[in-house]
Structure 1
């Protein structure tokens, strides 16, 4: 009976997807362990970039460098950690990955967790597939987080795999290109089904993860095109959107030029500088600009009448762009709201909302 450790490549929704994958793989542990960044969207945590251990109160220390997020853990300066949300709504255990000391520091944390919990296999989980990028792709929006997590898994003392779920669902890399690359690596393909995602729908309701939500939507039979992210990328939901490709971490590391350069990094700043040198940018550039812009623009929420007007206008424009669905997360932002509140969103969109998913239909046709 194996004792697996899952590593969420980009934090956020990857941590929740890891629990779904555990079910799909027939995991015997009803409370799997996931190591993840606390790196969340502005709507729940306005601070750009990943959080460090020192940003929390209420963590549980497991080893010298490994800390567990519990249902009672909070961010000291405000905001909400997605890991706390998941700790409150799932039976899993979550270890916060603190990247302050680069890949070397993350690797030390993972090694200590492996030893402390007698882990015999590690699986790095990424929804969308950025982790398998070369690093030179013009459409790659978030090169740093996934590559740093992959670099941290190099030379772990147990076998390590990479699982890419729903290639292309994050709106960054072309899904056909990713699929072909993963097949060339000899990846084994599994499918996430309703039974694998349904236990985690309550957690998904409170966690604004678009890509993982789309995996769940596809598993529950939704098909069509969803508009996601700030710029409204359109991604397609098909029968293949629940595919999970499993391959060796060595194969993915051989493809990812950024991760190769990050293996020996000893600080997050160093990792960011190397990534920017290779790609010309990192996701933190966008996050910092957005945080500063929204901080200056922040006003009160629109009135109920204004929200209904904005919703009508948005639906008309999104339909013209060919969208069938929009996530609650994107809808929150395009309507000019400042806090992610799925209950309020359901009340606003009414029958347009999916019953069990934070997803809105563009029309009721």
Structure 2
């Protein structure tokens, strides 16, 4: 028997699901984490989620259940870090294909439950947009979460929803979010993160990185690449809230409206009606216009000919002057528009610096 977890939003939620699994069941308990291949444009330049047919090396455990392995690979021009993640995490990773909507996802989840011999599902979200009402001005990515909720409901399999690190995705304002979640069920500890800390050296998930940092005791103001304003890592950031699926359906009108959705195009239309936008459409717009690093190149243009360490020092002083104490690896790489070789060299140097800059999985900003 394997525990069955579902990463609600794709991307870094699979990492968070691994942390929640460690807290609930211990890391050594066999588990399967189902996740979308729906990753940032910096990883996958093709808008929207990937289908199972967008990968080679998929392992078919059942006709409706596709497993990812280290030998899996996205078919160009698509990109994905899920094959690498499948080798770094203890649970197996299964691929959710949302192109047949809620109905298709429910078939895939039932197949996974049968393969795992699981009689219940743990549905995991980092940040809290899974309980979004759709009208929040900072909401960016509600569709994947809502489809996951609707699909779990359609299976009829008992499902518990876990929201970890409320507010860390910067989508639903914390004052609005906490009353919906109630008191935390438990708080994550450093031991729960032991199996995932290293993945943030190469994986760009920021909300999951902040959750792991909070669980490891990091406290202070943190700046991420995606967030429009800094986030405070405090005692609430490592909290995990447990909700019934029924309660989440009450809170999430998009999930309710997707109950009988049969394809992703229809799901987009429902999202436009409920939330006023489609995140896939926004991805199409971004992909069609600017390279993900264009803005960063313009921002650091005055320093482009300076030595790498001098460029970082100037950026560090400016960022620290904004009151930010910690940053993610992704923010360093993207705001300085670093190549792969530059990023490796700089992060290696910072890892050996005095005073210490590395506070896994974040970096401390220090102004001499």
Residues 62 and 111 in structure 2, CA contact (< 8 A), matched pair in contact too:
yes
Structure 1: runs of 5+ lacking an equivalent: none
- Call closer, same or farther: CA 1:339–1:110 in 2, change over 3 Å: farther
Match of 2:252 in 1: 256
Partner Cα separation in structure 2 for residue 217 and residue 78 of structure 1: 33
In the TM superposition, what whole-angstrom CA distance separates every residue of 1:134-192 from its partner, at most 9, and x where no partner exists? 11111111121111111111132321011000000111212232222111xxx661111
- Greater alpha carbon shift after TM alignment, 153-162 vs 117-126: 153-162
- Greater alpha carbon shift after TM alignment, 127-136 vs 288-297: 288-297
Among residues 335, 352, 358, which one is paired with 1:354 in the alignment?
A: 358
Structure 2: runs of 5+ lacking an equivalent: none
- Call closer, same or farther: CA 1:342–1:97 in 2, change over 3 Å: farther
Partner Cα separation in structure 1 for residue 200 and residue 119 of structure 2: 28
Matched, 1:42 2:54: no
Matched, 1:26 2:25: yes
Match of 1:328 in 2: 329
Residues 2 and 32 in structure 2, CA contact (< 8 A), matched pair in contact too:
no
Q: CA deviation at 1:26?
A: 2.9
How many residues are matched?
A: 360
- Call closer, same or farther: CA 1:248–1:231 in 2, change over 3 Å: closer
Q: CA deviation at 1:304?
A: 7.3
1:227-238 equivalences in 2 (<5 Å): 227-230=223-226, 232-238=228-234
1:168-183 equivalences in 2 (<5 Å): 168-183=167-182
Match of 1:14 in 2: 13
Matched, 1:311 2:287: no
Partner Cα separation in structure 2 for residue 271 and residue 203 of structure 1: 32
Match of 1:51 in 2: 50
In the TM superposition, what whole-angstrom CA distance separates every residue of 1:210-238 from its partner, at most 9, and x where no partner exists? 01111111111111111123454311101
Q: CA deviation at 1:205?
A: 2.5
- Call closer, same or farther: CA 1:159–1:304 in 2, change over 3 Å: farther
In the TM superposition, what whole-angstrom CA distance separates every residue of 1:339-358 from its partner, at most 9, and x where no partner exists? 6986345136453642532x
1:36-185 equivalences in 2 (<5 Å): 36-78=35-77, 80-183=79-182
Residues 319 and 362 in structure 1, CA contact (< 8 A), matched pair in contact too:
yes
Q: CA deviation at 1:277?
A: 1.9
Among residues 274, 282, 288, which one is paired with 2:278 in the alignment?
A: 282
In the TM superposition, what whole-angstrom CA distance separates every residue of 1:2-51 from its partner, at most 9, and x where no partner exists? 74211001111111111111111134753311000011122222222111
Match of 1:220 in 2: 216
Partner Cα separation in structure 2 for residue 199 and residue 208 of structure 1: 17
TM-score, reference length from structure 2 = 0.89
Q: CA deviation at 1:332?
A: 1.8
Among residues 220, 240, 244, which one is paired with 1:244 in the alignment?
A: 240
TM-score, reference length from structure 1 = 0.90
Partner Cα separation in structure 2 for residue 252 and residue 277 of structure 1: 19
Partner Cα separation in structure 2 for residue 143 and residue 71 of structure 1: 29
Partner Cα separation in structure 1 for residue 193 and residue 251 of structure 2: 30
Partner Cα separation in structure 1 for residue 2 and residue 311 of structure 2: 49
Partner SS, residue 277 of structure 1: helix
Residues 332 and 340 in structure 1, CA contact (< 8 A), matched pair in contact too:
no
Q: CA deviation at 1:209?
A: 0.8
